[in-house]
Amino acid sequence: MNKAVRKTVIAGNWKMNKTRPEAKALIEELKPLTAKADCDVVICVPYTNLETALALTEGSNIKVGAENCHWAESGAFTGEISALMLKEMGVQYVIIGHSERRQYFGETDVTVNKRVRAALDAGLTVILCVGELLEQREQGITEEICAMQTKIALAGVTEEELSRIIIAYEPVWAIGTGKTATSEQADEVNGYIRSVVAKLYNNNAAQKLTIQYGGSMNAKNADELLAKEHVDGGLIGGASLKAPDFAAIVAAASK
Ligand code: PGA
């Protein structure tokens, strides 16, 4: 089996950017540019832009995701949004465990697992982020960190549910820094994560799993990263905020 058995997914992660009028303008610009994509195209937007994004992308090939969700269906969790609330709106994807959530909002592997479970139960597709810090890479424990994050996040996830999981390998030192991992580094860690999944489930399930790379992927380096055997798409931050840049990455993934 090879790359052809897997879906290539290019997902934008807008983070805390774009007011509603700005979101509308970006999506309107993006739609014609990505209409001929030969890969899955997702935009993950702030909660306040979900309704706008869903309305504007209706009938197009762009799918909409959120950037996080809580693990409970409802309850006394001021400021949180449940997976069920997202699903009910028509949202299809959700990013879970992004390094910024881990770094600034106390997200742990255990809460990542709880959110993954809740998102799957609600019927969403999860973009699960894993990746090492710079000092962890320097200590030579990139594989250990990625294996641990992957194993804990997938606890209690069945093989059937794995078809609604996308893993995004995002080395934290490459996010928003302009320091992209080399295509060899990305391919090596993505391949390693696939081997971890093969051990947890089986080789067939691992071969079918989409594993993205994220971290300063842009219009210039996308071609080389996406050509690698284990790089099945990208999770794009900064470059997803500019329609021509995001469209260029989508075009690179469509080759
Ligand atoms: P970046 O962000 O493309 O701006 O590095 C990627 C991400 O955080 O998902």
pLDDT tens-digit series, residues 205-229:
999 999 999 999 999 999 999 999 9
- Phi and psi of 108, rounded to 5°? -120, 170
Average per-residue pLDDT in the chain? 97
Cβ(12) – ligand 1 distance below 6 Å: no
CATH code linked to domain 9-17+39-46+63-242: 3.20.20.70
| Annotated domain spans of the chain | 9-17+39-46+63-242
In a 10 Å sphere around its CB, with 0-12 CB exposed, 13-18 middle and 19+ buried, how is residue 143 labelled? Answer: middle
Which mutation among 13, 104, 128 tests ligand 1's pocket best, with the greatest number of atoms within 8 A of CB?
13
Catalytic annotation present for 70:
no
DSSP characters for 136-201? HHHTT-HHHHHHHHHHHHTTT--TTGGGGEEEEE--GGGTTTS-PPPHHHHHHHHHHHHHHHHHHS
For residues 233 and 210, is the Cβ–Cβ distance under 8 A? yes
Q: Please indicate whether residue 98 is annotated as part of the active site.
A: yes
Instruction: Tell which residue, 177, 159, 93, 158, has the closest CA to residue 129.
Output: 93
pLDDT tens-digit readout, 89-114? 999 999 999 999 999 999 999 999 99
